[in-house]
Structure 1
Amino acid sequence: MFKEPQLQQLLEAEKFDALAQAAQQRLSQAPKDAQALAAKAIAATGAYDGRALDEALSTAQQCVDLAPREAVCHLALARVMGQQVLISSKLKAIGLVGKVRASLGTALGLDPDLYEARSKLAQIYLLIPEFLGGSVAKARELESAIRGKAPEQARLLRSLILAREEQWDEAERELMAVRVGEDAALAEDVRNAYGELGRHWIKSQQFERVKRMYEQLQKDQPGQAAPYYYLARLAQELERPAEAIPLFEKASKLAGAGGLPIDHRLGDAFAAVGQVDAARQAYQRYLASKRAEPGHVKDARKSLAALA
């Protein structure tokens, strides 16, 4: 996404505070630096702070106004609005989705190789209903356009399309065949797709299948928190909280841990085995986190109160 290696490395490591600091340092020397403006805006998407996101929206819009041909500015605008969707009322969120889609389309038009814009645009087409602009056909166009040039990225998009069409077996085959290499954005999409597909199989009570999938992700991305978190959640689904605890604790020490509700679920696991003090501490850690998701915050508060 970023041309500046330092900014890209901080983004991939999800070090959002450091990203904001690096961006501000660049802006102090060059106030119209599009890369720095985009980085400053995107840094705010690491949390769910409404006021900070409003400020980030202004920063991203400034980036677009100053550098309308810079794809990263439009992507930053889309990312900020996308985060606002998660904390907005349903009516406001519906209005924002169209703006997110438009900004992603502009970013992709300016830079067809910008995978994150292509991926997020495809996911919007697949997730929202047709009357709001959803379109499986448009998602397919986005996939087919890169099939020759970026086959692994295309394979991931095909998996998402197949899942949308409820062709679950085919979606799983495509997903498990993806080889991400050094593509951090693709690797993140793969982790998220494993989580979504795993939840589908859990609902179908195909637990061994889910375990096999998550263990494959663990093998493919051993330094990431997600596969350990998913395996811990599977253990909880199977009412094995004692097995979940060490998996959550392992996940908490790995890359990407900050973006997962690990301490919330760890608190649940400790509570289930009667370790009340440990559960309380886990819930409190989660509630103190800037990256705590609103829905999980509500549940964690209830669970914490129930311990008293």
Structure 2
Amino acid sequence: MAPTLKPLEKGTLKANLPADWTDYDLLYITATDPFNRELFTWSFPISLPDKVAATMVKTEGAGNVTLSETDSLYNVTANGIQLSISKRNGLLRQVSNAKGNVALTNGPILQESANNFSNFTQRSEGKNIIIESTFDRKAAYNTIQWTIYPSGWVKMKVRYFPNAYFTFMNGVNFSFPEAKMKAVKWMGKGPYRVWKNRMKGGTLGVWSKAYNNTETGEQPLVYPEFKGYHANMYWCRFEADNPFIVATENEDVFFRLFTPAWKTDQWHNYEPMFPSGDISFMQGIPSIGTKTQRNETTGPMGQKYAFYDYEKEPARAKELTLYFDFSGR
């Protein structure tokens, strides 16, 4: 289950923090005018994602993790969770629990990076089962490791290199049928979506919003828009017939929900960019243009990302760690 947020209460700048302030998750500071009307509230993290993830993720379980193989799949069972992972490319092919199938599949697929996970092995580490690719500097320099715990929680660690010196976006994508999505509840910045050059205005907290297909400025006006990029993810619960939770221990992770309808104009200034797949967990997202400017002319935050490593040195790879709770609770 997603944890209950513990926000530090709002107060004045002259107020003293409680002695146990480090036990809280967030700090809110509100500025008011002489008539005690709120001017603005700022939010700051006290607990970072690794601390919150450590309180959520359960690794111990009463039973064992079992693994069987077919020609093409690793089939793993733990605490009522069944997963099938491709032996060829390491992608999640199927996951189910007592309620039935969880619709998240076909990931992680790297965005603007080579999907060259290969040469998979499996091993036991204590009570855990680990499935991982083998690093090869020329042919398989991006790597993935799956860890399945007796509790049924699943850890995914990807280490990757963007495929060009300049990239629009970096991260991993999964498939999920849009028609099955009902709502999301997450801890992070919200409730509105963001772009690389439109990060201001959000507040850290726990947010919820029901699925909608709103196109900005068009009827029906249901806000905040559901589809798009969302900043500073700690965890997200994806509400469907068979819900699941994804948490991260990394800072500055974005989660992306589906793809809004394609938009452009005669000058090609406003052209939103989205990755492949349906649900993504990103470490870099694209910027957005305006009516009069393309995204790259809006300033430094409108530029592409610059990250490239010619030697493909593993110590310099970008690293993304996600934890999955597929129990359906």
Same fold (TM over 0.5): no
State the structure with bigger RCO (CA 8 A, min sep 6), 1 or 2. Answer: 2
Q: Which structure shows the bigger proportion of residues in strand conformation?
A: 2
